[in-house]
């Protein structure tokens, strides 16, 4: 593969930005087409309705972003992000117990999604061979026999006509609403098989003041439910602008109201009183905003017998998780890492772009398997969840239930679990004898705190 090529990325969200950073090292030009209007600040975008709510970038994702954009973490913290140690600064109530709080060195930054995306977008715009075109919708693929050869675009600017943009590689990072299955069908291909886990999650989010001298026995707070009967969650995170972001949510249609009294009563109903106490005494800065997420979805492009050359699908276009688990941005970073590996190997071996794209299509699902099993499997703990549960889900949920209980009294189990949850380690590590032995040989039951 030589550099005399052009890549097009559909979608200027975090997945598209991370992919563009990788592509810039291997292509003469990279063009990102984004349907939203982009401004040079941390304003939420219309096309990312969940952007106004709590987002987590787990340690593995933050590390990968730092590798692509050296100094990003420092920029975030200098701009107001809060840096916290997950096993020490988080107060985490889960499955009826408070997890231990011990040092581990697993530090992440807490900020709003628009703030993080804005910083990444600014860094991408500094790359000389990357162009970001906003207010522009991709209407369909341009294609020749057996290959995607570009995209047909429609600018939102007055009087603009449809235009075909040629590309040697097209990357779909357009998100959950990806049109790739439909466009492939129009080209004569089958739609990819898909798994759907219907969770019907809904939540409400509100910002509160975070005075500089305010003191709490925690720097972040999570109160999670005990399935199958408990369905309500609450989260308090510090974010930029000296604010707290508070999210209340529930599974299987148990959604919070939006009015002040209703929100407070919802917080009172959580399994521990701490978020209710916090909200009762804190100073609200905004009204609450709501969001509803219907289902986890995963598209199996790797199973298609026929697939066009010149096309890569990644991010939420490929696999969309329940956002409550905060896996989306980190898996997008893993997708970009996989893309880099495939491009570098292809350049070394002299492979064609189509061979590289096909290698990515086969390789990236292996990286998605662990987070998909953890999210989809966890959601199957609730009886109102419907869908194709990953194989072995009942056994895994039984096992992880005992791991959560042990994490309330065994610091090594806690740290191992948090490393897996942050995608630093493979889930295989949670079956290490140091965890497996106490799970199987002694009671992991812990009385409710």
Q: Which residues contact 98 (CB under 8 A, 6 or more apart)?
A: 91, 92, 272, 408, 449
Beta-bridged to residue 284, according to DSSP, are 208
Which residue ranges make up each domain of the chain? 6-70+115-195+297-377, 83-112+196-294, 389-441
Distance in angstroms (rounded) separating the CA atoms of residues 398 and 413 = 16
Walk along the chain (449 residues) and give the pLDDT tens digit of each residue. Answer: 555 699 999 999 999 999 999 999 999 999 999 999 999 999 999 888 788 889 889 999 999 999 999 999 999 999 999 999 999 999 999 999 999 999 999 999 999 999 999 999 999 999 999 999 999 999 999 999 899 999 999 999 988 999 999 999 999 999 999 999 999 999 999 999 999 999 999 999 999 999 998 999 999 999 999 999 999 999 999 999 999 999 999 999 999 999 999 999 999 999 999 999 999 999 999 999 999 999 999 999 999 999 999 999 999 999 999 999 989 999 999 999 999 999 999 999 999 999 999 999 999 999 999 999 999 999 999 999 999 889 999 999 999 999 999 999 999 999 999 999 999 999 999 999 999 999 888 655 544 43
Neighbours of 137 (CB within 10 A): 17
pTM over 0.85: yes
Of 1.20.58, 3.30.310, 1.10.490, 3.30.9, which CATH number belongs to 83-112+196-294?
A: 3.30.9
CATH 3.50.50.60 fits 6-70+115-195+297-377, yes or no: yes
């Amino acid at each position: 593969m030589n550099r005399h090529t052009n890549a097009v990325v559909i979608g200027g969200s975090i997945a598209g930005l991370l992919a563009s950073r990788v592509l810039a090292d291997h292509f003469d030009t990279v063009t990102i087409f984004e349907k939203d209007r982009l401004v040079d600040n941390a304003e939420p975008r219309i096309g990312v309705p969940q952007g106004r709510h709590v987002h987590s970038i787990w340690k593995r994702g933050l590390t990968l972003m730092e590798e692509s954009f050296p100094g990003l973490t420092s920029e975030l913290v200098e701009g107001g992000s809060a840096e916290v140690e997950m096993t020490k600064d988080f107060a985490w109530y889960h499955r009826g117990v408070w997890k231990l709080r011990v040092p581990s060195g697993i530090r992440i930054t807490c900020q709003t999604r628009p703030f993080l995306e804005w910083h990444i977008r600014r860094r991408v715009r500094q790359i000389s061979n990357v162009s970001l075109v906003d207010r522009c919708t991709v209407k369909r693929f341009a294609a020749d026999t057996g290959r995607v050869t570009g995209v047909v675009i429609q600018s939102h600017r007055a009087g603009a006509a449809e235009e075909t943009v040629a590309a040697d590689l097209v990357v779909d990072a357009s998100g959950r609403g990806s049109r790739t299955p439909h466009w492939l069908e129009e080209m004569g291909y089958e739609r990819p098989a898909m798994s759907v886990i219907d969770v019907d999650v809904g939540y409400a989010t509100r910002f509160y003041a975070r005075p500089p001298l305010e003191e709490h026995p925690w720097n972040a707070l999570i109160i999670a439910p005990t399935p199958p009967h408990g369905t309500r969650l609450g989260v308090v995170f510090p974010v930029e602008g000296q604010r707290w972001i508070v999210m209340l949510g529930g599974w299987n249609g148990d959604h919070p109201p939006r009015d002040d009294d209703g929100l407070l009563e919802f917080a009172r109903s959580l399994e521990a009183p701490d978020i209710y106490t916090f909200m009762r005494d804190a100073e609200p800065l905004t009204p609450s905003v709501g969001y509803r997420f219907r289902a986890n979805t995963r598209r199996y492009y790797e199973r298609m017998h026929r697939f066009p050359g010149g096309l890569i699908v990644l991010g939420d276009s490929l696999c969309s998780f329940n956002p409550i688990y905060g896996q989306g941005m980190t898996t997008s970073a893993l997708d970009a890492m996989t893309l880099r590996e495939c491009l570098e190997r292809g350049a070394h071996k002299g492979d064609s772009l189509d061979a590289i794209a096909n290698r990515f299509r086969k390789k990236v699902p292996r990286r998605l398997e662990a987070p998909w099993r953890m999210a989809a499997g966890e959601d199957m703990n609730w009886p109102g969840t419907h869908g194709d549960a990953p194989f072995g889900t009942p056994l895994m949920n039984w096992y992880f239930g005992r791991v959560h209980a042990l994490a309330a009294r065994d610091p090594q189990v806690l740290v191992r679990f948090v490393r897996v949850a942050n995608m630093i380690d493979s889930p295989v590590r949670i079956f290490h004898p140091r965890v497996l032995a106490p799970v199987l040989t002694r009671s992991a039951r812990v009385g409710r705190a």
